[in-house]
Amino acid sequence: MRIVDLITKKRDHYSLTDHELVQLIDDYTNDRIPDYQMAAFLMAVYLNGMSYQETAALTLAMANSGATIDLSGIPGIKVDKHSTGGVADTTTLILAPLVAAAGVPVAKMSGRGLGFTGGTIDKLESIPGFRTTLAHHEFIANVKRHQLAITGQSIDVAPADGKIYALRDVTATVESIPLIASSIMSKKIAAGADKILLDVKVGSGAFMKDLGAAVELAETMVKIGEIVGRDTKAILTSMEEPLGLAIGNSLEVKEAIDVLSGSYQGDLREVCLILGSHMLQLAGVAQDVKAGYQVLQQLLDQGIALKKFTEFIQAQGGISKVTDQPDLMPQATYCEDIVSLATGYVQKIDVAKVGYIATILGAGREYKGQSIDLTAGILMRCRIGDFIRDNQPLATFYGNDYGKFTEASKLLQQSIIIGNTAVTKPKLILGFVDKNGFTQI
């Protein structure tokens, strides 16, 4: 089988067999196919798409291109969660201990961030002493003992995805539903969970800007799960404004502690309760989503979820006192309120621009391997629909390079639109996708 023949087939709208896709991925992973030919193949997929069966075969081939995690020795149904990403999306830090406190084992591999802020691993590294790299036996042992462990994603897991993603990034083939879906699902399948919950973000701060594209992506990933035997469900959530108030690594850990303690009421808590209730249902711990929601609500309000987070931090070598004393985490040298220049209602927030501002302040990466400032970020002081007066704070900046505040302040003023007309707050949950298709809420 020659790679040029596969490129030709896909160029001419023919479907590839499972065997052809397995061979393609194996050859590319082992450097038997040059980048320029794989780039041609990816462009053919970008232009002509893939069937569900092809996408599932591609996903499995990438998942099996390296090490896979065997979680069968851990009692119970393991449910993994993946978010397509957004600004102030602190859900993993809250959901993992919350769902674990409800009796569902959470064995999660997470990554570092590229873009707006750090990833889950960067955020956890804000906690002094916290170990984000666990040996396989430690990872499994912690889940058995504490129902929860989070470790950095190994380069041995789905290495084909890493190579292909890097190539997509420089060949204008990122925005392909089959390629996005197979990239996400290959890592979830390799990570070994029995069932998968997907949080697909929609809006100005999300990769998927409109509902139609988000539904297509969600349906593709759910179908992949069905074909490969992993029960998968997707919840579509809004990213028309930052999900939480905190944007930045240590700031987001502090906000997660507030949610877990039961003292925080807002969109971040609500999304975590909804996602978590679906995870409990998938795991068979709750009869339905409503029952799961009530269980999780009690775990937050009674502080039980926070105790699980404290236990988790201690189990991975971190200073567990941070849950009572968040100031034990690194602190920014500078902090400044950015005030409104107008009076009126917040009409719109350019979420992507706000995320970029956090990167300017040092909270995110512009390229892989770049060091980030774990103390830097933004604390939002307004939401869409709020009435704001002149000179009232829109946000508070944190960082160690005060020289960056001037440019960031100008961009923030541009990103928050204030007008005279009262507006309705965006809907938070847009719908869900399961094996029966899309249900709009």
Question: 388: which strand partners?
Answer: 344
User: For 339-393, what is each residue's pLDDT tens digit?
Assistant: 999 999 999 999 999 999 999 999 988 776 778 999 999 999 999 999 999 999 9
246-247 vs 377-380, strand pairing mode? antiparallel
My answer on whether 310 and 351 are in the same domain is: no
User: Which residues are catalytically annotated?
Assistant: 82, 161, 168, 183, 187
Question: Are 182 and 278 found together in one domain?
Answer: yes
- The bridge status of strand 377-380 relative to strand 416-419 is unpaired
- Domain identity same for 139 and 225: yes
* pLDDT 10s digits, 33-62: 999 999 999 999 999 999 999 999 999 999
Q: What is the pTM of this model?
A: 0.94
Helix axes 159-169, 35-48, angle to 10 degrees: 80
Q: Are 102 and 299 contacting, i.e. CB atoms less than 8 angstroms apart? A: yes
Domain count, the chain: 3
Alpha helices in 82-210 (DSSP H): 91-101, 120-124, 136-146, 159-169, 177-190
- Residue 42: inside a domain: yes
Q: Are residues 117 and 144 in the same domain?
A: yes
Q: What is the CATH number of the domain that holds 380?
A: 3.90.1170.30
Is residue 272 one of the residues assigned to a domain?
A: yes
For residue 425, being part of any structural domain is answered with no
Residues 294 and 200 in one domain: yes
Tell me what pLDDT residue 155 has: 76
Q: Is residue 63 part of a domain?
A: no
**CATH classification of the domain holding 10:** 1.20.970.10
Residue 269: which domain range?
A: 79-155+163-325+430-440
DSSP element (H, E) containing 397 = strand 393-399
117: confidence class by pLDDT, cuts 50, 70, 90 = low
Q: Do residues 297 and 380 share a domain?
A: no
Residue 435 CA neighbour count, 13 Å, CB half: 9
Same domain, 313 and 171: yes
Q: pLDDT tens digit string along 146-177?
A: 999 999 877 788 999 989 988 998 899 988 99
- Both 309 and 197 in one domain: the answer is yes
Q: Give the 3-state DSSP-derived string for 25-54, with helices as H, strands as E and coil as C.
A: HHHHHCCCCCHHHHHHHHHHHHHHCCCHHH
pLDDT at residue 50, rounded to an integer: 98
With 0-12 CB in 10 A as exposed, 13-18 as middle and 19+ as buried, what is 436?
exposed
- Give the span between the Cα atoms of 331 and 326, in whole angstroms: 10
Are 128 and 254 within one domain?
Answer: yes
What CATH number corresponds to the domain at position 290?
3.40.1030.10
**Is the domain of 346 the same as that of 389?**
yes
- pLDDT given for residue 400 in this prediction: 97
The answer as to whether 223 is a domain residue is yes
Q: For residues 197 and 211, what is the distance between their CA atoms, to the nearest angstrom?
A: 18
**Which segments within 167-280 are labelled E, that is strand?**
195-202, 231-238, 246-247
* 62 lies in some domain: no
Q: Residue 118 — pLDDT band, cuts 50, 70, 90?
A: low
Instruction: List, in sequence order, every residue forming a beta bridge with 246; answer none if it has no partner.
Output: 379
Higher pLDDT, 206 or 398: 398
321 and 338 part of one domain: no
**Cα–Cα distance between 8 and 402 in angstroms, integer?**
55
For residue 14, the 8-state DSSP code is P
Question: Phi/psi of residue 365, each to 5°?
Answer: -110, 145
Angle at CA of residue 425, ends 422 and 426, nearest 5°: 135
12 conformational bin, left if phi > 0, alpha if psi -120 to 50, beta if neither: alpha
Q: State yes or no: pLDDT of 140 exceeds 70.
A: yes
Based on the domain organization, do 309 and 338 belong to the same domain? no
Task: Share the mean pLDDT of the chain.
Answer: 94
